[in-house]
Structure 1
Amino acid sequence: MYRPKTTLEQWRILQAVVDYGGYAQAAAKLNKSQSSLNHAVAKLQGLLNVQLLEVKGRKAFLTEAGEVMLRRSRHLTQDVEELEALADSINQDWEPEITLAVDLAYPRAWLYPVLADFLPQSRGSRIRLLDTVLTGTDDAITEGWADLVIGGGVPRGYLGEAIGEIYFEAVCHPEHPLAQMPFPLDPNELVHHLQLVIKDTSASPQEKQGWLKSELRWTVSQFHTAIDLLCQGIGFCWLPCHEVSALVQQGKLARLSIRNSSFRKHINWLVVPRPDSAGPGTKLLQELILTHRQLQAPNPVNPGLAAEE
């Protein structure tokens, strides 16, 4: 039988040194001495006879071989975590707590009937319902800290079920200068006006979605704060139609007709980050969300046709 030369702890230390930017930072995060981390990585390199890191100044950098090995090691440590989580799931009849991460744009009116149906069958399981935004929603999947995730995309390497679609529209106060201009607006006109944006909940946000070219931007954490500012005549913002349609009808906000971009459609997806270790409560909640989905499931015989009701 093959006996590994290396240990999971050595690979975990290597990952920490890279992720936190050096030995000192990793030592602080792992609550270990810097010398023990140096020794662990040096031993790992010696056992493999491969240089994984090279130190330049005070920072450690991956070698070309190190990049390959690190990438593969992440699969290894993740597999072990999932294996242990699976054991926990097998050993417990019902999860004491289920974490559901939901992108802020997903209409809560679609979610509440699901939770109402879940409650009588929940067997006392607690629900942690957490709001996420953009990259923060992806983090809930890739970092595995949520049992179920509803968001606007599916990260690479994961599977998801489409459960609904929402539309975003650009709005401002009816007396805002943008609302006084002839429609459709040239997108370049927006550059010179304050844009309100919703804060990405990720610890490492990536500005890769949406129109973010305005020279002046204010960031808020909730749609309601953005709406309050808009109603004061401050800025413009892309917001979900279900959040602003009543205010538009009341004349408190105005839709902006923008050339080539008046509306944006987003598909909502349900993702189970760790399907192999999902407990019975998580599976039940997943089934209920799919039962209440706002999109028809594709026809299994002809995916191009909507399923018959």
Structure 2
Amino acid sequence: MTSSYRPRTTIEQWRILQAVVDFGGYAQAAQALNKSQSSMNHAVAKLQDTLGVKLLQVQGRKAELTDIGEVMLRRSRQLTVLVTELEQLAENLKQGWEPEIKLAIEMVFDRNLLLPVLKEFQLHSRGSRLIMEDTVLTGSLETIIHKRADIVITHQVPKGYVGEPIANFQLHLVVSNNHPLAQRNQPLSPDELSQHLQIVIRDTAQKPLEQQGWLRAEQRWTVNNFNEALQLVEAGIGFCWLPPFTIQQSTQLTELQLAGGSHRSGATYLVLPKDEKTGPCARLLYDMLVSELTNSGPFR
């Protein structure tokens, strides 16, 4: 339902009021806006008459805000910023700039590495919304193949796509300090490990490959993310493969030694699923990620 209220003031009147204050007077504002001083006086006078309040008072040769004017000016700045952003958004959309982009991130990737880029990207995003979502195992592949995201950070690149290597990842085998396996002083065999409950992360694919990665565990509880897994591991319920950025949050873990290797590791890649159809905003973020992560990461 739309409101029946009709504004009695205009955006231009508020902009003129702001200019008179910012430039220190009617004459200076008129020169800055390339308008006549009389038109500036008329606009502010009409604004005050319409509202029925005094916004400005002239002290000598300078126009100063009244107490009411201070409040109204502050709120008017919010209004004009919103209008400017709305007009800029329309221009961006006309030029093909996306109103929304999606970045899918394989859960083994440390999001802390993204923060400097995202902080800089926000300054150049022109109001586009950024959606970030976690993907796991074959869910990452599906996101690329079905083009469900504009940019994907993945640990595996499907055939027919190109990935830009950006960082390595590791997973460490851990249990609670109170778990029976924590008392072992020698490497475990895979068969011994399989006799205990494993905490695994849910594959985000619509059609997961049940025999891939950690999903091969017969005794397993499934959770949505590493933080949920960490809680169960700390409670002594099972073991899990966790990344360093999750493990460092806890002092209650013991890293297990597994015959044949206690770490799982690999590389992560940046992929543009839509290739040449990628929009300019997504392309900007992709270029910023490549520049930052390939220059500061292990592949520099």
Q: CA deviation at 1:180?
A: 1.4
Counterpart for residue 126 of structure 2: 123
Counterpart for residue 216 of structure 1: 219
Q: Hey, what's the Cα distance between the residues in 1 that align with 2:173 and 2:277?
A: 41
Counterpart for residue 17 of structure 1: none
Distance 1:230 1:105, change over 3 A: same
**Is 1:256 the counterpart of 2:263 in the alignment?**
no
Counterpart for residue 283 of structure 1: 283
Q: Hey, what's the Cα distance between the residues in 1 that align with 2:279 and 2:207?
A: 29
Q: 1:191–1:214: 8 Å Cα contact kept in structure 2?
A: yes
The one of 177, 181, 194 equivalent to 1:178 is 181
Aligned residues with identical type, % of pairs:
43
Structure 1 segments of 4+ aligned residues over 4 angstroms from their partners: 294-298
Q: 2:170–2:264: 8 Å Cα contact kept in structure 1?
A: yes
Q: Hey, what's the Cα distance between the residues in 1 that align with 2:258 and 2:180?
A: 14
Q: State how 1:45-84 maps to structure 2 within 5 Å.
A: none
The structure number with the bigger radius of gyration is 2
Q: CA deviation at 1:191?
A: 1.1
Counterpart for residue 65 of structure 1: none
Counterpart for residue 99 of structure 1: 102
Q: 2:125–2:281: 8 Å Cα contact kept in structure 1?
A: yes
Q: Hey, what's the Cα distance between the residues in 2 that align with 1:178 and 1:164?
A: 31
SS, match of residue 213 in structure 2: coil
Q: CA deviation at 1:211?
A: 4.4
Provide TM-score, normalisation by structure 2.
0.65
Q: Hey, what's the Cα distance between the residues in 1 that align with 2:131 and 2:262?
A: 35
Q: 1:95–1:279: 8 Å Cα contact kept in structure 2?
A: yes
Q: Hey, what's the Cα distance between the residues in 2 that align with 1:186 and 1:237?
A: 15
Counterpart residue type for residue 234 of structure 1: I
Q: What's the RMSD between the two structures over aligned residues?
A: 2.1
Alignment gaps of 5+ in structure 2:
1-91
SS, match of residue 208 in structure 2: coil
Q: State how 1:109-258 maps to structure 2 within 5 Å.
A: 109-247=112-250, 250=251, 252-258=252-258
Q: 2:137–2:213: 8 Å Cα contact kept in structure 1?
A: no
**1:146-165: CA deviation from partner (whole Å, max 9, x where unpaired):** 10000111001100100001
Q: CA deviation at 1:130?
A: 1.0
Distance 1:215 1:145, change over 3 A: closer
Provide TM-score, normalisation by structure 1.
0.64
